[in-house]
Amino acid sequence: MNADPQTNDRSLTGALTRNGHWWRSALTSGPGLAWLTAFLLIPLLAIVTISFLTRGEYGEIERPFTFDNYQRLLGFGLLGFDPLYPTILVRSLILGLTTAGLCLFAALPLAFFIARLPGGWKTAALILVVVPFWTNLLIRTYAWQILFSSESWLCRTAQALGWLSPGTALYPGFLAVLVGMVCDFLPFMVLPLYASVEKIDWTLAEAAVDLGANPWQVFRHALLPQIIPGLSAGWVLVFLPATGQFVIPDLLGGAKTTMLGNLIQQQFGPSRDWPFGAAISFVALLLVVGGLWLRARNAPEKDGGLM
């Protein structure tokens, strides 16, 4: 995802320097851009449009134009304030934040571990982080259903230790969703973090130790500032997709763990309220765009080439 230098000079875009670039561009870039316009841009505009329309009696999409869908999402429905939808919105954000936080917590030791391995082992250890990702997410997710069911050795051990009441399972529930999420998104945090840890100037840490800093102070003042770029790249790569995740909450969570993604699926599926589903989708889209914009604004250094 490295941005190439040619796309970065904005001053040059829009200015045709050689004649004949028009038809060359049309022949090369044309079909691809036309495809993305037809199957991506127009569908997204259609989503935005119907999010201001109303659901008909049989699930059809009707006028009048209205902001009702957005008001409903904020909790102001026909029957006064209803916290159902705002709760789901907040819950999704909390899930995204917790996932990113836990991934960071787990990725830090892993990144330092890999960076300290000798040469050839480093590559092997990095590949080992990515390998599970080659397997379909559905498979990796439903496996936790087996691991977290009440007769599994994991739950039996927990029951025997008295951490779980006998016969109960860890699935479905928020904890199961969280474990599934961290397990899935961990590589996205480890890789950018490792890239930063690998570049650390360790003499700064040595200097801090010589000056009498304790391990926490060394980490906080000598190491942390150096890995901020990797940290923020990893945060974006985990938090944004985690907030909109649909499969993991769907397979590992229950009715109490409905997230934005599940809500969208319900509206386009069983509930057949497409305008409301479109409004939720638009909000999810705005969340992502807002997140990327914030990062682009606060990251003046051209580090990861994320955008």
Partner 1 sequence: MRSPSPRLSVIAVLLYAFIYAPILVVIVYSFNASRFGAGWGGFTTRWYEVLLENAPALSAAKSTLLLGIFSTLLSTTLGTALAFGLARFRFPGKAWANRLLYVPVFIPDIVMAVALLLFYSLARQWFGLFELGLTTMILAHVTFQIPFVTIVVRARLAGLDPALEEAARDLGANEIQTFWHVTFPLIAPGVIAAAMLAFTLSLDDFVVSFFTSGPGATTLPILIYSSVKRGITPDINALSTLIIIVSFVATLATTLLQRSQKYKNLKSER
Q: Interaction with partner 1 in 201-230: which residues (CB under 8 A)?
A: 202
Using CB under 8 A, pick the residue from 16, 78, 79, 255 that binds partner 1. Answer: 16
Among 124, 143, 160, 294, binds partner 1 (CB under 8 A): 143
How much helix, strand and coil, in percent to the nearest 5, is found in the chain? Answer: 70, 5, 30
Collapsed DSSP state (helix, strand, coil) of residue 171: coil
- CA dist 278 and 84 (Å) reads 17
Binds partner 1 by CB under 8 A, chosen from 42, 90, 207, 211: 42
Residues 240-259 that bind partner 1 (CB under 8 A): 240-241, 243-247, 251
Q: Which of 127, 236, 243, 244 is nearest to 192 (CA)?
A: 236
Q: Does 43 bind partner 1 (CB under 8 A)?
A: yes
* Binding residues among 84-113 for partner 1 as defined by CB under 8 A: 106, 109-110, 112-113
What separation in angstroms does the CA of 206 have from each of 18, 214, 217, 220, 264? 56, 11, 12, 14, 52
> Rule CB under 8 A: is residue 166 a binding residue for partner 1?
no
Q: Give φ, ψ of 55 to 5 degrees.
A: -80, 130
Using rule CB under 8 A, residue 151 touches partner 1:
yes
Rounded to a whole number of angstroms, the minimum distance from the CB of residue 174 to partner 1 is: 18
Strand, coil or helix: what is 251? helix
Binding-site member from 265, 276, 279, 304 for partner 1 (CB under 8 A): 265
Q: Of 74 and 137, which CB lies nearer to partner 1 in the complex structure?
A: 137
Give the residue from 238, 225, 1, 201 showing the smallest Cα distance to 107: 238
**Which window, 65-73, 76-84, 149-157, 209-217, contacts partner 1 (CB under 8 A)?**
149-157
Please report whether residue 7 would count as binding partner 1 according to CB under 8 A: yes
Closest to partner 1 by CB, 82 vs 250, is 250
80-81 and 76-77 beta bridge pairing:
antiparallel
